Amino acid sequence: MSIAKTNYGIMPSGEEVFAYEIKNNLVTASIVTLGAALNKLLVKDKSGNFRDVLLGFDNLHDRLSYSDYHGVTVGQYCNRIKGGKFMLCGKLFNVEKNENNITCLHGAGEYSSALWKAKEIDDKSVCFTYLSPDMNNGFPGSVENRVTYTLSESDLIIEYDAVPDTETIINLTNHAYFNLNGYDFGTILNHTLTINADYYIPIDKYSIPTGDIASVKGTPLSFVDGKKIGKEIDADAVQLKNGQGYDHNFCINGYDGTLKTAAKVKGDESGIELTVKTTLPGIQFYSGNFLNGMKGKNNISMERRTGFCLETQFYPDTPNNAHFPPCVFSPEKPYKSKTVYSFSNI
Active centre residues (catalytic) = 175, 311
Among residues 254, 264, 226, 251, the alpha carbon closest in space to that of 313 is found at 251
Task: Specify which residues 127 forms β-bridges with.
Answer: 119, 148
DSSP H helices in 156-293: 238-243
Q: Which helix (H) or strand (E) holds 62?
A: helix 60-66
Which residues neighbour 84 within 8 Å (Cβ) at sequence distance 6 or greater? 94, 95, 96, 97, 102, 103, 104, 138
Among residues 303, 276, 308, the alpha carbon closest in space to that of 292 is found at 303
SS3 217: coil
What are the φ/ψ torsions at residue 299 (nearest 5 degrees)? 65, 25
Name the residue type at position 35: G
Q: Please answer whether residues 97 and 84 qualify as being in contact, where contact means their C-beta atoms are separated by less than 8 angstroms.
A: yes
